[in-house]
Amino acid sequence: MTQSPSLFRSKLRSMFIILSLLFVTWAIGFFEFVNRIPFLPQMNLSKTNAIIVLTGGSGRLNEGLKLLDEYELADHLFISGVAKGVDLQTLVQLTQRNLQDLTCCISVGYKADNTAGNAKETHDWMKNKGFTSMRLVTSNYHMPRSMVEFSRVMPNSYIIPHAVVTEDFRGPHWWKKTRLLKIVASEYNKLLITYLAGLWPTIGS
């Protein structure tokens, strides 16, 4: 049976309204997400049991090594999500740092291939060491999702977020760079998926 033109227009209008509401909701959440991203370098000088560096972003490892070597904000550093076949010596050489005396204090994890994996891998390492506090080092745009994942896996651990802010993100006009805007929008979408994944056991029960 053929739909009447008026019924078709009504359905089309309803679909447009629904899509518009979804977009507005997404946009409001996106602006809230951007407001949560730190755009200035942070420095909380409290010491923790360990410094945790998540691989995958520019400047993260170098920042973690600086916190260990220069600021001495922890006695141990754990690098999570290292590609298989890449050893500690290779990682240190990439940062052009001479850390021969500190290699005994640095551990490497090879099991994680995403942020949830980073949290699980770090949890296992921290538990094995008997540690309860950490300084989490990752890119500024990645920090909100990382804190959600790590807090979920380690609710009783004390976590200090330490965001790495590259030069690209410094200044008020970073959003005019299409590449950076795409990175932040993608990270926001991943955060939404993370929240939904966390709700799934509740919804399914």
CATH number at residue 146: 3.40.50.620
pLDDT band at 202 (very low <50, low <70, confident <90, very high): very low
pLDDT band at 144 (very low <50, low <70, confident <90, very high): very high
Among 30-44, 53-67, 137-151, the least confident range: 30-44
Residues whose CB falls within 8 Å of the CB of residue 4, separated by 6 or more in sequence, listed in order: none
pLDDT band at 140 (very low <50, low <70, confident <90, very high): very high
Alpha carbon 10 to its chain's center:
43
Residue 40 belongs to a domain: no
Residue 128 belongs to a domain: yes
Q: Is the pLDDT of residue 63 over 50?
A: yes
Total structural domains in the chain? 1
Q: Is the pLDDT of residue 97 over 60?
A: yes
Print the domain residue range for 117: 50-169
| Higher per-residue pLDDT: 42 or 82 | 82
Q: Is the pLDDT of residue 43 over 90?
A: no
Q: Give the mean model confidence (pLDDT) for residues 144-155.
A: 96
Q: What CA–CA distance (Å, rounded) separates 51 from 73? A: 8
Residue 5 belongs to a domain: no
Burial class (CB in 10 A: 0-12, 13-18, 19+), 196: exposed
Q: What is the pLDDT of residue 23?
A: 95
The gap between the terminal CA atoms of the chain, to the nearest Å, is: 41
Cα–Cα separations (whole angstroms), residue 95 to 72, 87, 88, 98, 200 = 18, 13, 11, 9, 40
Residue 30 belongs to a domain: no
Residue 36 belongs to a domain: no
Q: What is the pLDDT of residue 204?
A: 40
Mean pLDDT value across the chain? 90
| Higher per-residue pLDDT: 129 or 205 | 129
Q: What is the pLDDT of residue 119?
A: 98
Q: At what angle do helices 178-204 and 143-153 cross, to 10 degrees?
A: 20
93-98's contacts with Cβ under 8 Å and 24+ in sequence apart are: 94/61, 95/61, 95/62, 95/65, 97/62, 97/65, 97/69
**Token pair of 147 as six digits:** 């804190």
Alpha carbon 116 to its chain's center:
10
Q: What angle do CA 3, 4, 9 make, to 5 degrees?
A: 95
Residue 155 belongs to a domain: yes
Q: Is the pLDDT of residue 88 over 90?
A: no
Q: Is the pLDDT of residue 130 over 90?
A: yes
Residue 8 belongs to a domain: no
Residue 9's identity, in one-letter code, is R
Q: What CA–CA distance (Å, rounded) separates 172 from 169? A: 8
This prediction's pTM = 0.89
Q: What is the pLDDT of residue 203?
A: 43
CB atoms within 10 A of CB 97: 16
Residue 55 belongs to a domain: yes
